[in-house]
Every structure is written in structure tokens, then in C-alpha cells.
Amino acid sequence: MLTSATLILALLMTALLFGGMVLYAFGFAAFLFTALPPDVAGPTIRRAFPHFYLFVMASATLAAGLLVFQDGTGAALLALIAVSTLPTRQLLMPAINRATDQGQKSRFRTLHGLSVVITLAHIGMVGYVLARFLNG
């Protein structure tokens, strides 16, 4: 059994992950493309995404580690997020950038759509883990 302090840290780290992902996906990215010209917004978001993915991997890993002895299912979901973010960062993101650079609009839409689905699935998984905190 975890101490209440560890459980509180697990909850806070999971909430940070959820909030950070939602803010980035629905706030920051959208804001950039409305506040900046496309020739500035594109390169800016391209520079920010690697850091976003590192945040997701680190936060999910830490939250999973804090939760592993209290909620194995929640910890496994958080670990899955951390692990599945690595190929998203290392493979999918560069492929999206190449498609953009090469003017492959259809390929870009497909790959970007996949990245959106992955991010939404991750947000849903973290939301589910947060909901599990309610059931103790």
C-alpha cells in the first residue's frame, strides 16, 4: 500500500500530464496558427513538438512509477503512453515534417491525422486513469 503522499503525487503527476496534453493540443498549437503567420507558426510548432513529446514521456513514466503499486491498470496505461510516444516522436513526427517539406499534402494529412488520433487516445487514456482515482 502506498502512503497518501505518494498517491497524491501520482494524482498530481497524472493531472499534470492530462492538463499539459490538453493545453498543448487544443490551446498552444491552435493559438500559434491564429496568432502568427503560417511561415512563422509552422517552424515554431515544429520546434516545440519534440519538447511536448519529451514532456509526455517523462510525465507518463513518472506517474506510472508512482502509481504502480496502487493501481496496476492505471500504471500500465500510463506506461503504454510513455512507450508509444517514443515512435510518435522519433518516426511519425519526422515523417510529417518530410511530407510538409516535400509538399506531399495528402501524405501530410494522413500522417498528421494519425498523430492527432494518437494524441486524443493518449488524452482519453490519461482521463480514464484520473477517473480511476475516484474509485480509490
**What's this model's pTM, rounded to 2 decimal places?**
0.93
Number of compact structural domains in the chain: 1
pLDDT at position 85 is 98
Q: How many CB atoms lie within 10 A of CB 24?
A: 21
pLDDT at position 29 is 87
Q: At 83, is the pLDDT very low, low, confident or very high (cuts 50, 70, 90)?
A: very high
Contacts of 33 (CB under 8 A, 6+ apart): 41, 45
CA angle, residues 31, 32, 37, in degrees to nearest 5? 125
The mean pLDDT value for 84-105 works out to 97
pLDDT at position 2 is 54
The mean pLDDT value for 123-127 works out to 98
Domain span at residue 14? 4-134
Name residue, grid cell 515512435. 87
Say if CB 66 and CB 10 are below 8 A apart.
yes
Percent of residues, the chain, with pLDDT higher than 70: 98
pLDDT tens column, 26-82: 999 889 989 999 899 999 999 999 999 999 999 999 999 999 999 999 999 999 999
Query: Does pLDDT of 21 surpass 60?
Result: yes
